[in-house]
Amino acid sequence: MPADPILLGSLGLVALLVLIALRMPIGYAMILVGAGGLSLVAGPMLVLNQLKTLAYGQFATYDLSVIPMFILMGALATKAGFSQALFRGTNAWFGWMRGGTAMAGIAACAGFGAVSGSSLATASTMGKVALPELRRYRYSGALATGSLAAGGVLGILIPPSVVLIIYAILVEANIVTMFMAAMIPGLLAVVFFLLTIAIYVAIFPESGPAGGAADRAEFRAASIGVLPVLAIFALVLGGIYGGLYNPTPAAAIGVFLVWVFGLVQGRITWTGIRESLVETASTTGMIFLILLGAELMKIFMSRVRLPQFTAEWIGTVGLEPFTILLLLLLALVLLGCLMDSLSMILLVIPFFWPVLVTLNGGPMQGAEGSGFGMSTDDLKIWFGILALVVVELGLITPPVGMNVFVISALATDTPMSETFKGVVPFFLAELFRVALLLAFPALILWLPRVLSG
């Protein structure tokens, strides 16, 4: 081993960030740096021995089976026309108000995000559905694109969320508990975004004209069209929260119900099923490749003790635990501008989590002790939701928010500067939500305690 393993670990991190900046897929970058670092630390034979069993040991776990199931549910939901049904229904409810069509886009993003579990997929899918309607009612480019870019972030937090599942696996938290904890913060985001639009159009009335009110027959038909989506959401999450089944069978039930709904409506064809399966296999393969790379990086960093060194060093700098937590969250916001949410969670959580455990007084710290004043189990839940919220924030943070680029690619007639201008009010609303969740941890911890109690 080199004389200074900490230096080697630090150089490995720098190399990883450079490879990501050069647009190498993060899974390959992690495997390259992890395997290369391990070879330098313990020799190439250790890497070969690890690779012999690591992939099977990593992926042959029941918890990971939920990931392809929820991805398939989201892919089939897109083919089944859930996005169109959600937007028609929410537009019938909100469209008659000033700014109502933008509000309908937010509500539809929340509903579709609950099915797809992906922010980028939510932004892309709902952008294609809602942008034509927003243009038809002559919404300003800033409000139309900004609201959809912001609405897309709801996919990462509102359960079921693939990123939330990965976080739970990384820190060995209960997936069902994390789903419970995400519900109130997710609903708060929806409410704050709707209020943001209401305030925006009150200040700039011409930016969001009122649409025509739906007649009784149209309102009834649009509302009925939303019912299957709400029913599937209620059966999947209601069964999980009620303890009827675990997340994996819940996801399987969701896939079956979406498939049946699509067949009955005549929207899912055999070609659509094949495309959904290919999309699921591709996305799952990408996620599992990143997981394998993250595990190699974790072994490498454990060998050089960089996470432990970082935790010990931060513990000696004299800053309050809360101040350090704010700095870690700020780092997540900045990283969220540069990479997708899943990659970022896999990259930083193995470093950040040991630091927080150390600051909290160790893994056995009780709620009445030092640190953050809560048990390690509660800290897992609180920090996990905070981390996902600020990752959301990074997706719309100027000048590199990824959701903004997704929406700008769809709204070619709107300059990207206008989209960033439209995102700013939602960015401020997100900051307010982060402040609330930091100040009142009960907003995250209350529901799991009630439902688990």
Query: Rounded to whole angstroms, how far apart are CA atoms 130 and 226?
Result: 16
Residue with the two structure tokens 């897992």: 380
Q: List C-alpha distances in Å: 336 to 244, 396, 404.
A: 36, 9, 12
Query: Rounded to whole angstroms, how far apart are CA atoms 229 and 210?
Result: 26
| Cβ–Cβ < 8 Å for 159, 179 | yes
In this predicted model, what pLDDT tens digit does every residue of 411-439 receive, in sequence order?
Answer: 888 888 888 888 999 999 999 999 999 99
pLDDT for 440 equals 94
User: In the chain, what is the straight-line distance between the N-terminal and C-terminal CA atoms, in Å?
Assistant: 50
Residue with the two structure tokens 């070609």: 271
Query: Rounded to whole angstroms, how far apart are CA atoms 373 and 279?
Result: 44
Kindly report the number of other CB atoms within 10 A of residue 233's CB atom. Answer: 18
In 3D space, the residue among 118, 405, 47 whose CA is nearest the CA of residue 284 turns out to be 118
In 3D space, the residue among 384, 378, 357, 353 whose CA is nearest the CA of residue 179 turns out to be 384
pLDDT for 117 equals 67
* Average of per-residue pLDDT values in the chain: 84
Residue 124 tokens, joined: 């892309």
In this predicted model, what pLDDT tens digit does every residue of 327-361 receive, in sequence order?
Answer: 888 888 877 766 777 777 888 888 788 888 888 87
Kindly report the number of other CB atoms within 10 A of residue 137's CB atom. Answer: 17
Q: Find the radius of gyration of the CA atoms of the chain.
A: 22
Query: Rounded to whole angstroms, how far apart are CA atoms 378 and 246?
Result: 21
DSSP codes of every residue in 411-424: -TTS-HHHHHHHHH
Query: Rounded to whole angstroms, how far apart are CA atoms 210 and 95?
Result: 7
Query: Rounded to whole angstroms, how far apart are CA atoms 29 and 231?
Result: 41
Write the CB contacts of 101 (distance below 8 Å, at least 6 apart in sequence): 91, 94, 95, 130, 133, 134, 137, 139, 208, 211
Q: Which helix (H) or strand (E) holds 214?
A: none
Given a cut of 60, is residue 51 above it in pLDDT? Answer: yes
pLDDT band at 367 (very low <50, low <70, confident <90, very high): very low
pTM: 0.85
- Mean pLDDT for 132-158 is 87
- Which amino acid belongs to residue 47? V
**Among 21-25, 226-230, 264-268, 312-316, the least confident range:** 312-316
Phi, psi dihedral angles at 427 (to 5 degrees)? -60, -45
More confident residue, 366 or 65: 65
Given a cut of 80, is residue 260 above it in pLDDT? Answer: yes
| Cβ–Cβ < 8 Å for 341, 42 | no
Three-state SS at 375? coil
In this predicted model, what pLDDT tens digit does every residue of 77-128 receive, in sequence order?
Answer: 888 888 888 888 888 888 888 888 899 999 988 888 877 767 777 888 888 8
Query: Rounded to whole angstroms, how far apart are CA atoms 4 and 67?
Result: 39
| Cβ–Cβ < 8 Å for 104, 210 | no
- CA 145, 151, 154 angle in degrees (round to 5)? 155
- Neighbouring C-alpha atoms within 13 Å toward the C-beta of 333: 18
In this predicted model, what pLDDT tens digit does every residue of 271-292 receive, in sequence order?
Answer: 989 999 998 898 888 888 888 8
Residue 452 tokens, joined: 């688990």
Kindly report the number of other CB atoms within 10 A of residue 220's CB atom. Answer: 12
Residue 441 tokens, joined: 């941890």
pLDDT for 368 equals 46
